[in-house]
Amino acid sequence: MRMVLLGPPGAGKGTQAQVLSKDLNLPHVSTGDMLRDALKAQSPLGLKAKEYMEKGALVADEIVIALVSERLSKADAKKGFILDGFPRTAQQAESLDQSLNHLHMPLDVVLYFKTSVSVVIHRLSGRRVCGQCGKNYHLTNFKSKVEGVCDVCGGKLFQRPDDKEETIENRLKVYEEQTAPLIEYYEKKNILHEISGDLEVKQLNEILMRLFQRKGLMSAAV
Ligand code: AP5
């Protein structure tokens, strides 16, 4: 199963992608995570991306397209993948289509997480991430057992620099201008499926699993 998760920042794409990746045994390909890893490793690519990410702007198309092409060429992506945070511009969407068509592996479904602005702001401003293992928490929605400490590895929790109030505003603006038009792009291709990103994680997951079953996508993936 080849799918894209589309939706505003904070819609819960990454959280749901992690659950689906386990349930369906598919690789979770997140451009945000790949760029943050590059930044942590202080690689030239990471340093190039830093300034854009901290402002909540998009990193150049050619950089992310190259990252994703390389990732999707790996053996584990042959059985399918969950793309999270990519594509985010018309150029990225067209480039993805071209590469996948060339490989005779078109997308099966694009899940659009339609999410209220108030929910998105609450989720982003309260998100905390483990600096060691990357696990996501939330100050009220998903609290760690001990405040500021990761339940899994004991690492210290921090707030992503782009989750500060002033940057959230810019990310939402960038999403509306550059990414939201992809909703229509995939609608025209008849592969868009809209779901409410406002729902809780488990409920959303159950709806998605039923959708995959209805579409006959489960057997190919699990
Ligand atoms: P990226 O990391 O992709 O950020 P994003 O799209 O803004 O998405 P988020 O990670 O903020 O939100 P999410 O929808 O995954 O929500 P999450 O599950 O974490 O990108 C970061 C930056 O990298 C970009 O700004 C850009 O600079 C660059 N970049 C990345 N991809 C790029 C591309 N293709 N092109 C160019 N530049 C690119 O959840 C958020 C919070 O809510 C968490 O605390 C979570 O615990 C909680 N939560 C999640 N789901 C629920 C739920 N259902 N109920 C209650 N709480 C929930």
Which pLDDT tens digit goes with each residue over 155-195?
999 999 999 988 999 999 999 999 999 999 999 999 999 99
Which of 15, 28, 175, 205 has the most ligand 1 atoms within 8 A of CB, as the residue to mutate? 15
12 C-alpha to ligand 1 centroid (Å): 7
pLDDT tens per residue across span 27-38? 999 999 999 999
DSSP letter, residue 58: P
121 C-alpha vs ligand 1 centroid, how far in Å? 12
| H or E stretch at 157 | strand 157-158
Q: What is the rounded CA–CA span in Å between residue 210 and residue 39? A: 37
Summarize the confidence of residues 2-27 as an average pLDDT.
96
Neighbours of 72 (CB within 10 A): 21
Report the SS3 class of residue 31.
helix
Nearest CA to ligand 1 atom 29: 32
Is residue 220 pLDDT above 90, yes or no? no
Tokens linked to 142: 């998903």
What pTM, to 2 d.p., does this model score? 0.95
Could you tell me the pLDDT band of residue 222, with boundaries at 50, 70 and 90? low
